[in-house]
Structure 1
Amino acid sequence: MAVGILPSQVNGWPPRCAFDSDTDSTYPPFHTPPSPLSAVNGPSSLSRPFFWEIVPLCDLYSIVHIILLPSSLRLSYNQLPLRPGSNISGVNGANGQQPHSEPPSRFMDALTNLGLGPSNWAHAGVSVFTAILPSTDGYIARSDFLRLRLQDFPFPISKIQECIAAPKKYTSCRLSSSSANSEDGLASLIEQAAGVIQWGDLEASVSILDLQHYLLGLTHELRDRLNNAPWLTSHPVARKRLALIRGRPNLTAGGPIYRAARALGLDLVIIDDEGHWLQPNTDDNRLHREAFIATDMTEDAGVTDRIISAITRYPLPIHGVFTLSDNFFVTAARVAEALGLPTSPVSAFETSVDKYRSRLLQDAPGHTARVTSVDELNTLLSTPANGTNPAFTPVYPLIVKPTKGWSSECVSKVSCRDDLALAVQKATSRHGSAAVVEPFFDGPEIDANFVLLDGEVLFWEVADEPPCQADRRDATVQDTFSPEALTLPSALPDREQAVVRDTLRDLLVKVGFRTGVFHVEARVVRSGCEYRDVGGGVVDLAPKTESGAAAAGGGGDKAACKLIEINARPPGYRVSVPSRHTYGVDFFAAHMLAAVGDHERLRLAARSFDHAACEGRTRGAQYWSRLVYVPVPKAGVVRWASGLPPCEELKRRRPDLADKIVVAVDYCVPGERVRLYTDGARTYAAHFLVCSRVSRRDAIEVGDEVLKAFKIEVEEGDEGGCKGA
């Protein structure tokens, strides 16, 4: 009975492949064991022929591909002579008696111990496994490292098994072609692996040539994901504890934070009001946090002292403090400063949360104003009695927005003096704050996200936000800046993206932010690109025509980046999703590591994928992605006509789109009343993240089609008591 098979024993092996002598080789060919395993290791209960290759993937990792051929090529398990006492999965004797067997295969046992044993193998297909072996000793940086790096892998995955856990140290093994010259040797490699992947089974009819190309594809993709991403740290990772000021409003918004904390070995203590959903000490809540401390979070002069008191009363040490709630940034910084914990200066947060002060980082006097009422606006606009120019001279169009606010709430574009008072009244009514009146910068709007360590840019990205209602030439004060989509990576020219990076990084450091995660919104003026129809009704960034470049003042060589606002936190959970999936960077993990001062793991968390740049796609992006916001069609009561959540209903109805949908989230439930607008911004019914490995245009077209295909029933009715999503 054969227990192994060499490539040379398979009919037609070796095929003529891309790495034959007359072509270049990207990866080495299969390592061929010197002789059949059956000749080396004697009989075994493993009935499926198999072969393998050991590949030095990169400096950080080696991998072992293991291929189990269909059992039809050898005796099936039911035909094996088994001895009593065998516990091989899937073998049953007559009348409940186990037949005789050979001793269990150590190779099979190694896979079984990982939950990847014979019960998971396709009887008539080809099963493929890959073991990942780091090249150095160390301690795991996060427990779900492999799952994070393999998300949206272009080849189907059946299971991912991560084999090392904190605080255990991983010890690397020396690999050579003789490491697996026996079944026991191959089993040892599996047992020493940091992770093992079982790929989706292949058809039994797959040719050797196709199998070879498949393995080369796996290897290439694994290299792009692991080449620059260490799994291990050089020092043991001490378990630490973080206080989260203001737990998230629900699990949808909070899930990415809680999962990242768990993977990093960070225990969360939630500080929030009595009655928060995380307060009950249930099994589910204990999965997300270590403890909940009920605290009066009223935003008054005493809130900082109350939070400090809550933390100091906690019986276990707290190593860091953070928040994701914009109106608590300054408070959290004051708490951290008082307790001697890592933080940026309080003054930096005071500037970032005040849109008037942050606007002045780039503005000249007289271009921006801060007013608390329409009366103050009128006074500011009036000519002083001595005949000098007014302190503020508006140049239309203008932007009016609350000095403190978020999600484009109550932000207006003003094109004439008559609408200015209405816009100021709308802005000052929100959050009880003053209004900032500032220039409107005409140019592509972008989101720029940074991970900084002591002023060094560890990771940065630019995403394009297509025009919204208020970007139209004929927009009125009633139109909103609510986002409609977001496209990654950016289509701006490299030189303009460099201007964005350098300008915004310097502004962050100027304010006082040197370490952490920052979500910055800006516009590129005098860009060489503009949004226009690029054919077939697709609207996207494209190089300006000569007339457009002339109107913009010369085009991209004179491009400048104009700040809209600084958010000293990761982008919101919706906007963080595209970055995590497109680049493999978890902003919430980086944010928490900065909060506890874990700089070694912060560097590791900021490592993007290593896919090569191609056809306008930024290096590190595994595909083009499009985040699509779905607004509610009208005010009223939500119904699910099909009985299914609308996102799920769409995927079932349109399987052609489902394959390209990465994430889909519904916001509304049956019976919920919704408004068309919430606090001056559009109310959303759902969002989707779609992807394309073909082109940016394809990603946009898929997103547009998803938006058209989405169906949600809203029965018209009185808006009284409605709530927005």
Structure 2
Amino acid sequence: MAVGVLPGQFESRQPKLFVDSDFSSASPTLNTPPSPLESVNSNSSRPFFWEVVPLCDLYSVAHVILLPSSLRVSYDPVSSRHGLSGANAAVKGADGVNRHQPHPETSRFLDALADLGLGQGNSATAGVSVFTAILPSTDGYASQSDFLRLRLLDFPFPISKIQETLRARQKYSACRPSPSSANSEDYLASLIEQAAGVIQWADLESSVSILDLQQYLLGLTHELRDRLNNAPWLTPHPIARKRAALIRGRPNLTAGGPVYRAARALGLDLVIIDDESHWLQPDTDDNRMHREAFLATDMTEDAGLVDRILASIARYPLPIHGVFTLSDNFFVTTALVADALGLPTNPVSAFQTSVDKHRSRLLQDPTGSSVARVSSVEELDALLLSSAPAAFSPVYPLIVKPTKGWSSECVSKVTSPRDLAAAVAKATARHGSAAVIEPFFDGPEIDANFVLLDGEVLFFEVADEPPCQADGKDAGVEATFSPEALTLPSALPGGEQETVRETLRGLLVKAGFRTGVFHVEARVVGSGTEYLDVGEGVVDLVVRHHDDMEVSKKAECKLVEINARPPGYRVSVPSRHTYGVDFFAVHMLAAVGDHDRLRLAARSFDHAAEGRTRGAQYWSRLVYVPAPKEGVVRWPSGLSPCEELKKRRPDLKERIMVAVDYCVPGDRIGMYTDGARTYVAHLLVCSRVSRRDTIEMGDDVLRAIQIEVEEE
């Protein structure tokens, strides 16, 4: 039996079944009101219900529903009228009950699913199976092989399997189905065979009613539209095979996995340049999954480093089309290598500005007398005693930080002159760099992530960092700026987010950056919002009292630092899951100059919901789990802390999108690492209900997770 929804009916929100007139008399249970599917007679293994939906200009989808065999009864006259043949015959047993007997004929539709590794498992006990074929509307070349998996991250309807049939750079010929022509099993099988991807959703209960089934399909389609309608999978032009060199491989698979997976999905050949004895150097099967080759190179940061890297590349027999790094202290080196080889890069001077926090501070405050750079405490003392007209005139509170540094290492808030020397000593001891002294900007701290192409903003997001230890009114010089959580989308008013966008984009372009991914940290001074306890211990960014709203009109965005790279591997997680943008893929496409695919990779979802930034599929909260004390990590239960939490608290498990442990039993950890808090895990939680719900869930997770540390 085939039952289809006619074109135009799907969006009416008035689910209605259209049934072959000859068959309707044999299936009175299909009349309204809808009845459970147990009462519907269905052809044995054939599609029970299908519809082809023009999803948007870019895609059509074909939804197909199969019943479990326990609900199927043969009805050959109808089957033959629909071009279908029965696979089971109903025979009467000795007890007078109809029994289903296997028929030697096979189903082309089921065979098409099986060829993709899809289909019903134990069909005698399974529920109602739902499949969706994704059918691009135009010919083209696949931008990446994991496109569908990325766009379906955290889909609100449970997914059993996703099968993507396209490899990166592969040619695809469009399938343009007509909703009215899907009238045979052969045609449905051909749609599966021609699909760019097929989704098998988790089975529905066999008691589902036809009305609920149609509402389910309506929800699926709307959600797919929000994820796909602005995101082409294909590019019209052939995609050349390219090779990228990663300068300084990642320290481990946890940190490097997202990079290597993105390279594979893009069809990029990846070469790693790093020191001898790096974990990716051995030519093992596992390592070959992550890189094409490893070029052992002395990475000592001295005057000869660029030449040594160039020599390694010159010895490699295959062409290198781009170089990139994710290590802050190799930005300038990588730009110099790219420049020497004539490969895509931003100007070397732009990186020289971004890695020097004094130079980047001067982008926004070129004449500020409250900004200084010193190389030692002695130089600070001399500066403070100077009587020159442009002498340094500190205004407290101040921030003191290394000019070269990352992850809030050795950053201090100084509230009085007596602590200034100690803060400078701490900052200059790190990386052998000078210290920059600058004003403390009081206001909500944010992370702003940009994707630029020739100066155009392709993607922009703001994430909120709640107050950290050093934000406290009584915070001393030992308090850290280590983040405690990150919440997306931002609760800043739209006008203030626009101020952030224009201010920081202007500073990036002023520094010389034109194309790539940029992770910029900033504060909003004079914001119309502030962090308050909104009840039951929940702290969030909320609009100030009405009398203070005039302040928001004067809000300014003050730069903290520019990171000319994607956010770190853990801070990239909420962006990828919330907006569907993989910054590591964008970063590599910029490095090889593939601007067509860069544009495609920078497309966020298209969800629009009250209270959320357009494109965000939900509110999310990245929770950092700090080390509770110094000592040796233990796993008493045999499970990692994150896995133990999910097992002990199934109510939290459903809301945890990502959970990553950093430590294994026997690891020795301290409370601080290089002047910043030591973290032992991170978790991403989400809510489609409200931002507050997400924050509450994050707080619950942080309270519930148990990290066993044994003191030595």
Q: TM-score, normalised by structure 2?
A: 0.91
1:603 maps to a residue whose letter is: R
Counterparts of 2:255 and 2:631, CA distance in 1: 24
Give the counterpart of 1:6 among 3, 6, 28: 3
The equivalent of 1:25 in structure 2 is: 12
Q: By how many angstroms is 1:444 displaced? A: 0.2
Instruction: Find the residue that maps to 2:590 and give its secondary structure.
Output: helix
Counterparts of 2:684 and 2:179, CA distance in 1: 43
The equivalent of 1:576 in structure 2 is: 572
Instruction: Find the residue that maps to 1:479 and give its secondary structure.
Output: coil
2:72 maps to a residue whose letter is: R
- The structure-2 alpha-carbon separation of the partners of 1:324 and 1:32, relative to structure 1 and needing over 3 Å to count, comes to farther
Q: CA RMSD in A?
A: 2.3
User: Does residue 663 in structure 1 map to residue 655 in structure 2?
Assistant: no
User: Does residue 696 in structure 1 map to residue 706 in structure 2?
Assistant: no
Query: Contact 2:47–2:64 (CA<8 Å) still a contact in 1?
Result: no
Instruction: Find the residue that maps to 1:206 and give its secondary structure.
Output: coil
Give the counterpart of 2:627 among 608, 628, 632: 632
Instruction: Find the residue that maps to 1:152 and give its secondary structure.
Output: coil
2:646 maps to a residue whose letter is: K
Instruction: Find the residue that maps to 1:119 and give its secondary structure.
Output: coil
Counterparts of 2:140 and 2:412, CA distance in 1: 53
Spell out the pairing of 1:104-503 with structure 2 (5 A cutoff). Answer: 104-119=106-121, 121=123, 123-363=125-365, 364-384=367-387, 388-389=388-389, 391-503=391-503
Query: Contact 2:619–2:691 (CA<8 Å) still a contact in 1?
Result: yes
Instruction: Find the residue that maps to 2:685 and give its secondary structure.
Output: strand
Counterparts of 1:34 and 1:502, CA distance in 2: 62
2:62 maps to a residue whose letter is: V
Q: By how many angstroms is 1:613 displaced? A: 3.3
Give the counterpart of 2:551 among 552, 555, 558: 555
2:185 maps to a residue whose letter is: E
Q: Which runs of 5+ in 2 are unaligned?
A: 27-41, 75-86, 89-100
The equivalent of 1:722 in structure 2 is: none
Counterparts of 2:372 and 2:662, CA distance in 1: 37
Give the counterpart of 1:588 among 581, 584, 588: 584
1:224 maps to a residue whose letter is: D
Counterparts of 2:23 and 2:189, CA distance in 1: 16
User: Does residue 685 in structure 1 map to residue 687 in structure 2?
Assistant: no
Query: Contact 1:449–1:518 (CA<8 Å) still a contact in 2?
Result: yes
- The structure-2 alpha-carbon separation of the partners of 1:45 and 1:309, relative to structure 1 and needing over 3 Å to count, comes to farther
2:702 maps to a residue whose letter is: L
Counterparts of 2:190 and 2:154, CA distance in 1: 30
Query: Contact 2:482–2:677 (CA<8 Å) still a contact in 1?
Result: yes
1:337 maps to a residue whose letter is: D
- The structure-2 alpha-carbon separation of the partners of 1:166 and 1:535, relative to structure 1 and needing over 3 Å to count, comes to closer
2:48 maps to a residue whose letter is: F
Counterparts of 1:497 and 1:156, CA distance in 2: 34
Q: Deviations over 1:188-211 (max 9, x none)?
A: 111111111110001111111111
- The structure-2 alpha-carbon separation of the partners of 1:135 and 1:389, relative to structure 1 and needing over 3 Å to count, comes to same
Query: Contact 2:168–2:266 (CA<8 Å) still a contact in 1?
Result: no
Instruction: Find the residue that maps to 1:200 and give its secondary structure.
Output: strand
Query: Contact 2:169–2:267 (CA<8 Å) still a contact in 1?
Result: no
Instruction: Find the residue that maps to 1:360 and give its secondary structure.
Output: helix
- The structure-2 alpha-carbon separation of the partners of 1:382 and 1:35, relative to structure 1 and needing over 3 Å to count, comes to farther
- The structure-2 alpha-carbon separation of the partners of 1:167 and 1:502, relative to structure 1 and needing over 3 Å to count, comes to closer
1:5 maps to a residue whose letter is: A
Give the counterpart of 2:49 among 40, 48, 51: 51
1:366 maps to a residue whose letter is: S
The equivalent of 2:30 in structure 1 is: none
- The structure-2 alpha-carbon separation of the partners of 1:571 and 1:351, relative to structure 1 and needing over 3 Å to count, comes to same
The equivalent of 2:83 in structure 1 is: none
- The structure-2 alpha-carbon separation of the partners of 1:271 and 1:7, relative to structure 1 and needing over 3 Å to count, comes to closer
Counterparts of 1:122 and 1:324, CA distance in 2: 52
Query: Contact 2:46–2:185 (CA<8 Å) still a contact in 1?
Result: no
Query: Contact 2:4–2:51 (CA<8 Å) still a contact in 1?
Result: no
Counterparts of 1:63 and 1:33, CA distance in 2: 23
User: Does residue 506 in structure 1 map to residue 509 in structure 2?
Assistant: no
Q: TM-score, normalised by structure 1?
A: 0.89
The equivalent of 1:673 in structure 2 is: 668
2:711 maps to a residue whose letter is: E
1:686 maps to a residue whose letter is: A
Query: Contact 1:31–1:177 (CA<8 Å) still a contact in 2?
Result: no
Counterparts of 1:707 and 1:228, CA distance in 2: 36
- The structure-2 alpha-carbon separation of the partners of 1:314 and 1:626, relative to structure 1 and needing over 3 Å to count, comes to same
Q: By how many angstroms is 1:173 displaced? A: 2.3
Q: Deviations over 1:501-545 (max 9, x none)?
A: 000001101111010000000000000000011111110000112
Query: Contact 1:521–1:565 (CA<8 Å) still a contact in 2?
Result: yes
- The structure-2 alpha-carbon separation of the partners of 1:236 and 1:632, relative to structure 1 and needing over 3 Å to count, comes to same
Counterparts of 1:522 and 1:504, CA distance in 2: 9
Counterparts of 1:143 and 1:394, CA distance in 2: 54
The equivalent of 2:529 in structure 1 is: 529
Q: Deviations over 1:304-358 (max 9, x none)?
A: 0000111111100000000000000000000000000000000000000000000
Q: Deviations over 1:221-241 (max 9, x none)?
A: 000100100011101211110
Query: Contact 1:5–1:49 (CA<8 Å) still a contact in 2?
Result: yes
Counterparts of 1:405 and 1:204, CA distance in 2: 59
Query: Contact 1:139–1:233 (CA<8 Å) still a contact in 2?
Result: yes
Counterparts of 2:120 and 2:157, CA distance in 1: 21
Query: Contact 1:167–1:237 (CA<8 Å) still a contact in 2?
Result: yes
Counterparts of 2:22 and 2:585, CA distance in 1: 48
User: Does residue 709 in structure 1 map to residue 704 in structure 2?
Assistant: yes
2:519 maps to a residue whose letter is: H
- The structure-2 alpha-carbon separation of the partners of 1:118 and 1:529, relative to structure 1 and needing over 3 Å to count, comes to closer
Number of aligned residue pairs: give it.
Answer: 671
Instruction: Find the residue that maps to 2:203 and give its secondary structure.
Output: coil
2:625 maps to a residue whose letter is: V
Query: Contact 2:45–2:66 (CA<8 Å) still a contact in 1?
Result: no
Query: Contact 1:368–1:392 (CA<8 Å) still a contact in 2?
Result: yes
Counterparts of 2:460 and 2:569, CA distance in 1: 17
Q: Deviations over 1:622-658 (max 9, x none)?
A: 0000001111111111111212101100010000001
Query: Contact 2:297–2:309 (CA<8 Å) still a contact in 1?
Result: yes
2:12 maps to a residue whose letter is: S
Query: Contact 1:31–1:52 (CA<8 Å) still a contact in 2?
Result: no
Query: Contact 2:242–2:268 (CA<8 Å) still a contact in 1?
Result: yes
Query: Contact 1:48–1:70 (CA<8 Å) still a contact in 2?
Result: no
Query: Contact 1:445–1:466 (CA<8 Å) still a contact in 2?
Result: yes
Identity of aligned residues (%): 76
Q: By how many angstroms is 1:120 displaced? A: 6.4
Q: By how many angstroms is 1:366 displaced? A: 1.2
Q: Deviations over 1:389-423 (max 9, x none)?
A: 56100000000000000000000000000000000
Query: Contact 2:139–2:172 (CA<8 Å) still a contact in 1?
Result: yes
Counterparts of 2:173 and 2:666, CA distance in 1: 56
Q: By how many angstroms is 1:217 displaced? A: 0.5
Query: Contact 1:46–1:104 (CA<8 Å) still a contact in 2?
Result: no
User: Does residue 520 in structure 1 map to residue 520 in structure 2?
Assistant: yes
Q: By how many angstroms is 1:671 displaced? A: 1.4
Counterparts of 1:122 and 1:503, CA distance in 2: 62
Counterparts of 1:367 and 1:525, CA distance in 2: 17
2:485 maps to a residue whose letter is: A
